[in-house]
Amino acid sequence: MTTILEQEAAPKLTAKDFASNQEVKWCPGCGDYSILKQVQTVFPDFGIPKEDIVFISGIGCAARFTYYMDTYGMHSIHGRAAAIASGLKGLNPKLSVWVVSGDGDAFSIGGNHFIHLMRKNFDLNYLVFNNQIYGLTKGQYSPTSEKGKVAKSTPYGSVEEPFNPSELALGAKCSFVSRSLDRDPKHMQMVLKRAHEHKGTSFVEIYQNCPVFNDGTFFAFSEKETKQEQSIYLEHGKPLLFSNGTKGIKLDGTRPVIVNLNENGNSASDLWIHDEHDKTKAHIIAGFFDTEYDGVHFPRPFGVIYSEDRPTCEDGMEQQIAELTARKGKPSLDRILSGDKTWTIL
Amino acid sequence: MIKIMESIVEQNVGHDTTLIEAESIVIRFSGDSGDGMQLTGTQFTDTAAFFGNDLSTFPEFPAEIRAPIGTTAGVSGFQVNFGSKEIFTPGDEYDVLVAMNAAALKVDLPRLKRGGIIITNTAGFDKKNLGLAGFADGVNPLEDGSLDNYTVHKIDITKFTKECLAGSGLGMKEIERSKNMFVLGLLFWMFDEPMEYTINFINEKFAKKQDIADANIKTLKAGWNFGDHTEIFTTRFHVAPAKLPKGTYRNISGNHATAIGLVAAAELSGLPLFLGSYPITPASDVLHELSKYKTSNVKTFQAEDEIAAICAAIGASYGGGLGVTTTSGPGMSLKTEALGLATILEIPLLVINIQRGGPSTGLPTKTEQSDLMQAMYGRHGEGPLPIVAASSPADCFNTVLEAARIAVEHMTPVICLTDGYIANGSEPWRFPTKDQLSPINVTFATEPNGPNGTFLPYKRDEKLSRPWAKPGTKGLMHRIGGLEKAQETGNVSYDAKNHEAMTKLRAAKIEKIADYIPLAAPDSGKSTGKLAVLGWGSTSGAIKTAVRELLEDGYDVAHIHLRHMNPFPKNLGELLSGYEHVLIPEMNCGQLSQLIRAKYLVPAESLSKVQGLPFTTSELKNKILEILK
């Protein structure tokens, strides 16, 4: 029997409710499909009405994401989504705002907005689909492409160092730094949830395969044969373990050391316990990218590298207004129009 | 004393001074950037305004915050024209020049009227200062007779200030800083203006530093007494209150009026105001001023750059606020791509460009009207936008309100042009009360407007504008973006015919605004005749003065001034065709005249000035008379 209560309760949304009526037009096999699916899968769990969700994107393959979500959305201009989202969140802090960006959009043309958003800490979620290549413009190297990358504009190899996005975000005072990848749906869902729960700018870097221009670039981290050696999955309060739990990382002062737990004298209890609130250690973990310690290559970290509770920009704006209003009151428009010094001609 | 002013009525007051009644007087305060001339000028102005004079001011300062002391590069000037008649310009030439050092005299002497009064601080004319100002070794204009055609008062203001404040406990630096108060006191005496306004100002400003307040007031009074007691000055001047329309007035600068206009726009529309801005001269004061009104539904956001500033404003407008960005020329260039986005999104947005000399960094502290073509055509693609321009400091208020009204009632970004001249200049303003201002009508979409409960974000109304559905509105979720839209649904469309139709629709929407704005009419003169001067923006005061003076002399001239630069008032072409000659003075190389000639095929003649300075009345009169000859 249907009770009145049940009739009134809003039906729980499903993943399908978040799909817009627009045909998805990414290349077959693109990692973006998986990201779209995971986002649509986790959103019903957030319990936010669809009308309170806004996706803002810039330009690039990833940016088309906005059209595929049945929420509010704006597909804007190259690199500027962070600034547009800041204004939107600043005006209406009640909205759940999601920025979808790519490596060129976020770190190249939008680099300035990216770092300043991290510093300002508006409570919004910033997803970067990192495929280490320019896809929509058909295959030029990107600011995350590895040095030596042979691409359309670098037939003899790129001569530039790539950004390490986690280090960049940490350096810019980001309050939530994380990484996931398209081929690990469960992990991505976990990270997306964590990003949503975090109050402040949540930076989620998602390794995304571009089957057309940069196929297999992250396979070392996602495929069975290499994944265990090349990736390390971080969990708050848990030791840093990889290689099916046979290897771990311990700290010798501030120097990370890989230890083989199968060898005598090495114990899991000596390992580095991940503390996502420890910024110093977060910097070391973020450095598991191109930094080598004593010539040893470290596995790439996935999960929440760093999180910190600190005041958001929109709350700061609102609090200042509330305090000023409480102290001074709201002047009438007539008072503002007249100002302090007037004279009258009779 | 030489007769330097019109309408002089001699009277005898006191023992040995003469009080002369003058209709209007122009004073130029000039000194080093650190001499406090802007403050001195502002205080004099506020006092004159407070006691009923009409006036117009022109602050002029160098781009360098502190250029090398004593050099001509560091000269900062403040010009005020105050009178008992209506005043529309800061004056072509000045009656009185206050020169705090040799460099100030060198820079500003050329525009002092022949026979005018010079008040100098002799401490600023020592060997070092003369050298820094570029006078040849041994040459001192105060001594060599070169100023014989002027009335020169040589006063060691620095010395008097030091003597006045000896034993005040203040350091030498603070004492020297007070010397502008001595000048101000002296001028108050000379022009028969009371000191109370400034004394109150000082007491408020230094409420927590009583010693500084006391020192400034003491020096101010010393300046007054110096005029009153020494035999140097035999003449004082009085400018009676102006016969302005009845009402209550305040003095206001253009940037201040712009800020208040934005606060009023928020209140009249009921929309929260969001300003995204990045500091740039001469626009920063709008950001500063607006930041004080946070309790009036205003949020200000100093963005990381010009692009972020407009983008944040776009985000706020998308969220259902009144998004505003303020800037000047170079910043305007940076905002252009985002302005294209706002154009295709068709959302309300105010872009206020306080023009300055360009291109590039150009003349950051000088004025120009050279961004009109940029406002008209400065976007890639076909993207016409409405443009409005302010004609005087106080008119910035009306113009901003008009821009806001067009933006929200027609769902479009609007470019609002002012310039450095009126942004920094000030004038008395008979401010309105709230109930005298028309409301700005905002309608947010709340219900589906398409078949089967769907929402069509690009369905158009009679103004051709689209609905504004803000995030948070149930059932109206939709996506917008920079890609071309299909009509009505707003879905991405690459269809060739659709693109052409949408391009024309967007243009027609802007053109249709002409149905909602006033027709053009002469500000003075007849609606047909020999010659019309067509102006826009800050040239208004100079044109008005020139045309009224020529009308009084019996010439057949008229003045038409534009607020709406795009679309033009519907009758503009017809109105202009009723004159034999159309003269368009502009502080650019003829941008409006190109537009007018192209659109209406009238043989408009351009009067161009690009010197970083406003037109003088005489420049305009000479040109008009040349054409009429």
CB-based contact A54 B471, cutoff 8 Å: yes
Mean pLDDT of B411-428: 96
Helix, strand and coil percent figures for chain B, each rounded to 5? 40, 25, 35
Query: Measured between alpha carbons, how far is B146 from B98 in angstroms, rounded to an integer?
Result: 17
Place of tokens 């009258």: A344
DSSP E strands in B50-159: the ranges are 54-60, 75-83, 94-99, 112-121, 151-155
Predicted local confidence at residue A232, as pLDDT: 97
Task: Report pLDDT for A259.
Answer: 95
State the residue for tokens 């957030």: A46
Backbone angles phi, psi at A77, to 5 degrees: -120, 165
Which of B303, B309, B338 is closest, CB to CB, to A77? B338
Q: What pLDDT does residue B234 have?
A: 82
* Beta bridge pairs of residue B13: B17
pLDDT of res. B61? 83
The token pair at A75 is 């597909």
pLDDT tens digits, B575-601: 999 999 999 999 999 999 999 999 999
**B132-142 per-residue burial string, b: 16 or more CB within 10 A, e: under 16:** bbebeeeeebb
Q: Mind telling me how many Å the CA of B457 is from chain A's nearest CA?
A: 11
Q: Are strands A53-57 and A72-75 parallel, antiparallel or unpaired?
A: parallel
Share of chain B above pLDDT 70, in %: 97
Provide the mean pLDDT of chain A.
95
For residue B388, pLDDT over 50 is answered with yes
- Summarised one tens digit per residue, pLDDT across range A57-116 is 999 999 999 999 999 999 999 999 999 999 999 999 999 999 999 999 999 999 999 999
CATH architecture of the domain with residue range A20-234+297-313: 3-Layer(aba) Sandwich (3.40)
pLDDT confidence of residue B2: 31
Put simply, the answer to whether A91 touches B252 (Cβ < 8 Å) is: no
pLDDT over 70 at B14, yes or no: no
pLDDT per residue as tens digits for the range B157-167 = 999 999 999 98
Pairwise CA distance, residues B439 & A111, whole Å: 41
pLDDT at B231: 77
Give the up-direction half-sphere exposure of residue A240: CA atoms within 13 A in the CB hemisphere.
Answer: 31
B295: nearest Cα among A90, A323, A334: A323
Residue A9: pLDDT band (50, 70, 90) is low
Q: Give the pLDDT band of residue B9 (cuts 50, 70, 90).
A: very low
Cα–Cα nearest to B133, from B141, B28, B148, B113: B141
Beta pairing, strands B564-566 & B387-389? antiparallel
Q: Using the beta-carbon criterion (under 8 Å), do B479 and A83 form an inter-chain contact? A: no
Give the single-character DSSP code of B432: P
Query: Does the beta-carbon distance from A72 to B471 stay under 8 Å?
Result: yes
Residue-wise pLDDT tens digits, A12-67: 899 999 999 999 999 999 999 999 999 999 999 999 999 999 999 999 999 999 99
Q: Where are the beta strands (DSSP E) in B140-284?
A: 151-155, 235-239, 247-253, 273-277
A168: which 2 tokens? Answer: 């960049």
| Edge-to-edge order in the sheet of strand B247-253 | A343-345, B247-253, B426-429
- B95, B117 contact by CB (below 8 A): yes
Kindly provide the b/e burial profile for residues A157-186, where b requires at least 16 CB atoms within 10 angstroms of the residue's own CB.
ebeeebbbbbbbbbebebbbbbbbbbbbee
Residues of B in contact with A328 (CB under 8 A): 295
Q: Is the pLDDT of residue B1 over 50?
A: no
Question: B-chain residues within 8 Å CB-CB of A62?
Answer: none
The per-residue pLDDT for B532 is 98
| pLDDT recorded at residue B488 | 96
pLDDT at B328 over 90: yes
CB B574 within 8 A of CB B552: no
Q: Which residues contact A145 (CB under 8 A, 6 or more apart)?
A: A132, A133, A151, A158, A162
The string of pLDDT tens digits covering residues A176-202 is: 999 999 999 999 999 999 999 999 999
**What pLDDT does residue A162 have?**
97
Determine which helix (DSSP H) or strand (DSSP E) holds B439, and give its type and residue range: none
Average pLDDT of the residues of chain B: 94
User: A6 pLDDT exceeds 50?
Assistant: no
Q: Classify residue A156 by burial, with Cβ atoms within 10 Å: 0-12, 13-18, 19+.
A: exposed
Q: Domain residues of chain A, as ranges? A: 20-234+297-313
**pLDDT for the residue B7:** 39
Structural domains of chain B sorted by starting position, each given as residue range(s) with its CATH number in brackets = 9-239 (3.40.920.10), 251-434 (3.40.50.970), 451-501 (no CATH), 522-628 (3.40.50.920)
Q: How confident is the model at residue B34, as a pLDDT?
A: 85
CA separation for the pair B228, B165 (Å, rounded): 19
pTM of the full structure: 0.93
Q: Which residue has the tokens 């044109």?
A: B543
> Per-residue pLDDT for B474 more than 70?
yes
Buried b / exposed e along B208-217 (16+ C-beta atoms within 10 A):
eeeebbbbbb
Between A241-250, A326-335, B162-171, the lowest mean confidence (pLDDT) is in B162-171
Say which residues have a Cβ less than 8 Å from residue A133's Cβ, sequence separation at least 6. Answer: A103, A139, A140, A141, A142, A145, A151, A210, A213, A214, A217
Strand order in the sheet with B564-566: B298-302, B273-277, B322-327, B349-355, B413-419, B387-389, B564-566
pLDDT given for residue B329 in this prediction: 95
pLDDT in tens, B191-230: 999 999 999 999 999 999 999 999 999 999 999 999 988 8
Q: Using CB atoms within 10 A of its CB, is residue A116 exposed (0-12), middle (13-18) or buried (19+)?
A: middle
Chain A residue numbers touching B492 (CB-CB < 8 A): 22, 67
- ipTM score of the complex? 0.96
Mean pLDDT of B460-471: 98
pLDDT at A345 over 90: no
Say whether A333 and B296 touch across the interface (CB within 8 A): yes
B2 Rama class: left (phi>0) / alpha (psi -120 to 50) / beta: beta
What residues of B are in contact with residue A94 (Cβ under 8 Å)?
A: 472
Task: Please tell me the distance from the alpha carbon of residue B396 to that of residue B375, in angstroms, as a whole number.
Answer: 17
B318 vs A: CB within 8 A: yes
More confident residue, B57 or B12: B57
How far is Cα A133 from Cα A118, in angstroms, rounded to an integer? 23
Query: A161 with A238: CB under 8 angstroms?
Result: no
Asked whether the beta carbons of A204 and A195 are under 8 A apart, the reply is: yes
First-to-last alpha carbon distance for chain A, in angstroms, is 79
pLDDT tens-digit readout, B309-323: 999 999 999 999 999
Average pLDDT value for residue range B559-569: 98
Q: Which residue has the tokens 């990381």?
A: B304
Contacts A49 to B, Cβ<8 Å:
474
Q: Could you say which of B267, B311, B316 has the minimum Cβ distance to residue A80? A: B311
Inter-chain touch B248–A342, beta carbons under 8 Å = yes
Quick one: pLDDT band at residue A8, thresholds 50, 70, 90?
low
**Interface probe, candidates A57, A74, A78, A124, chain B, greatest B C-beta count within 10 A:** A74
**pLDDT, tens digit, 9 for 90 and up, residues A314-330:** 999 999 999 999 999 99
Nearest CA in chain A to B48: A343
CB within 8 Å: B295 and A329: yes
Query: What strands lie across the sheet with B557-562, from one edge to the other?
Result: B522-524, B557-562, B529-536, B579-586, B605-608
Give the number of beta-carbon pairs within 8 Å between A and B: 204
CB count, 10 Å around CB of A106?
35
Residue B462 CB: number of other CB atoms within 10 A? 7
- Cα distance between the two ends of chain B: 38
